[in-house]
Amino acid sequence: MATVKFRSGERIPLEMHRARMVQKISLLPVDERLAKIREAGFNTFLLKNRDVFLDMLTDSGTNVMSDNQFAAMFQADDSYAGSETFFRLEKVLVDLFGKKHFLPAHQGRACEHIIARTLVKPDSTAIMNYHFTTTKAHITLMGGKVEEIIGDEGMKVQSKLPFKGNVDIDKLKEAIARLGKDNISFVRIEAGTNLVGGQPVSMANMREVTGICKAAGIKTVFDASLLADNLYFIKSREKEFEKIDIIDITREIGSMMDVIYFSARKLGSSRGGGILTSNEEMFSRMRELVPLYEGFLTYGGMSVRDMEATAVGLIETLDMDVISQTPIFVEALCNEMQAKGVPVVTPPGGLGCHVDAAAFCDHIDQEEYPAGALAAALFIASGVRGMERGTLSEQRNPDGSEQLAEMELVRLALPRRVYTLSQIKFVADRFAWLYENRKMIGGLRFTDEPKLLRFFIGRLDAIGDWPEKLAKQFEEDFGESL
C-alpha cells in the first residue's frame, strides 16, 4: 500500500493489489434502515449483515484473504492429532517470534481465558497500557483486577503524539512499588491499543517496560492481535527502524515478552489464535487447559484449513504493502472526516477511524450512551454499521452504577483490502450530514441488559422519537422514500 501524489497535489491511497472476486451488497431505503435498527434493539451487533451496506463493525475475521492463503487451504491435513498443518503453522510462529512453544486456540479471547486461568489469582492486579473488553472480563471472572497505566496523552482525543498507546513509565514504577510484585499477575502490553483509537506502542517503550518488569520479576504478556498495524507505525514513525526488516522487529518484540498471544481473525487475516512462550513452567500449566477448553494440542479448536491460511497470512504480515493497507486507508478516512468538520481521534491509528462521540453528541448525557446512539444514527443515515466503543462497552460497577468510559467513540473499522476510496468518501459524506444534524440525535436506555459483555447482546430503545425525526429529515434532504 502506498500513497501517490496527483497533479492537483492531492495524495490518495493506492492499492497494491487487484480484486479478483466481488460480493454483492445492497443499500436499503431509509425507512427500512430505521425499522432494522429498531428490530436490533439499537445494537449494531444485532443487525443482520444482509441489511448492512458497509460493514465497519470490526476487522476481526473480516479481512480479505490472499490468493496464496486460499491455495494453502487445499493442503490441509485434517487429522485430530499430529496434523502436519499444525507443524507448518508452529514453524512459522516460532520463526516469527523466536519462542519455543505454541498452543493453538479458537480465537484471541480463548487465549485470554487460558492465560487468565494460569496467571490471575484472586485480588491480584493485571497492569496494562489499556484494557480490552474480553481481556478485562476474563481477569475479573478469575477474581483479579485491572489497572491501566497508559500515558496521559493517550487519553486525549486530539493529539500529535505518534505512540499514544505507550505505557507511562512513572505510573508503572509507582504501581509496582505500591502493589508489590507478588500481587501483580502480569504486565500486559496491547499492540495497537484498541479502545483508545487503535493507537500504537513504540519499540522504545516496550524495551523500557520489559526491562523494568524483568528486574522486578514480573511476567510480561503481549497481545499481538493488532501487531500488523503496530509494525507499520514502528517502521514509519520510529526513526531507528526505518530500514530494519519487519521480521527483525517482530523477533525483537518476541525476545522481550514472556507470553505472546494473538487472534488470527486480525493477525494473519484468517480464523483462530494462539499463545507462544519459552517459559517451561507456564507452558506446562497452559498446555493442560487447551484440551479441556479448546481441543487437542495440534488443533486447539481451529479448523486445519484456517491454520494453513493463518500460516501464509503471518508470512504476508512481513510485507510492507500488506501491513500498510489499513493504516493508510484509516488516515484517508480521518482526513475526509476532519475536512468536513467531524471530530475524530488523532493522529490516525490502525484498525479504523474513531469518531469522538463525546464531542459529536455533547448534548447527550454519558449514561444515555452517546456513542451507541451515534452508531445507531449512522446506520439510519447511511446503512453503515460501526461499533460503539464507550460506556455501553464497559461493565457496571459492583454497586450497579455505570462505569463511565474515559472516551466515547464510534469505531469505523476498515478490514484489510475490503473497501474502495469511493466507499470511504460516502461514509465521510453521511457523517458530515449527521454532524450538521447532530442535535436531533437523542440517547438510549437498556431494555435487556446482560451482566457480562452487554454491548454484544444487550437491547436498547431510543429515549423519545428522535430516530423517526432523523429519518424524516434525511428523507427530506436526500429524497429517499419514507
Q: How far apart are CA 301 and CA 297, in angstroms?
A: 9
* Nearest residue to 323 (alpha-carbon basis) of 269, 369, 243, 366: 269
Q: How far apart are CA 129 and CA 167, in angstroms?
A: 5
Q: How far apart are CA 321 and CA 428, in angstroms?
A: 25
> In this structure, what are the phi and psi dihedrals at residue 50, rounded to the nearest 5 degrees?
-60, -20
Q: How far apart are CA 49 and CA 379, in angstroms?
A: 12
Q: How far apart are CA 465 and CA 270, in angstroms?
A: 41
Question: Cβ(312)–Cβ(68) under 8 Å?
Answer: yes
Question: Cβ(279)–Cβ(220) under 8 Å?
Answer: no
| Grid cell at residue 349 | 491509528
Question: Cβ(482)–Cβ(467) under 8 Å?
Answer: no
Residue found by looking up cell 493517550 in the block: 154
Q: How far apart are CA 96 and CA 249, in angstroms?
A: 10
- What positions carry a catalytic annotation? 80, 132-133, 223, 266, 389, 455
Q: Which 8-state DSSP code applies to residue 45? A: G
- Taking the alpha carbons of 409, 56, 2, 64 in that order, is the dihedral positive or negative? positive
